[in-house]
Amino acid sequence: MNFDEVAWRETSEGVLLPLKAQPGARNNAIKGVHAGRLKVAVTAAPEKGKANRLILQLLADRLGVRKCQLELVQGQTSGEKTVLIRGTTIDALRKRLAEI
């Protein structure tokens, strides 16, 4: 997968990662890149924040960061989301994604 197409942004707080969420999927996985966003599929339904919580847990596991470093900053009820990842860099995230 080519993660260079992700429209990452570094800020003073960390990295802003744009996501395309796919709730209700068959399995939990990072599916690639869709229109400049990292596509993340989760089995949870998009109700009462279940899918959002599972997305953050999946990202923490795959990116090798603690869940407390992640914050959903945009798109709580949308398929297009933005997650702030504190305490890392774009290069470190790209390297970690390339390993999975």
Structure confidence at residue 98 (pLDDT): 86
- Domain that residue 95 falls in: 3-99
Confidence band, pLDDT 50/70/90 cuts, at residue 21: very high
Share of the chain above pLDDT 70, in %: 99
pTM, rounded to two decimals:
0.93
Which CATH number fits the domain that encloses residue 71? 3.30.1200.10
Helix intervals (H) in the chain: 50-63, 90-99
CA atoms within 13 A on the CB side of 93: 25
Count other C-beta atoms under 10 Å from residue 24's C-beta: 12
Number of domains in the chain: 1
Structure confidence at residue 12 (pLDDT): 94
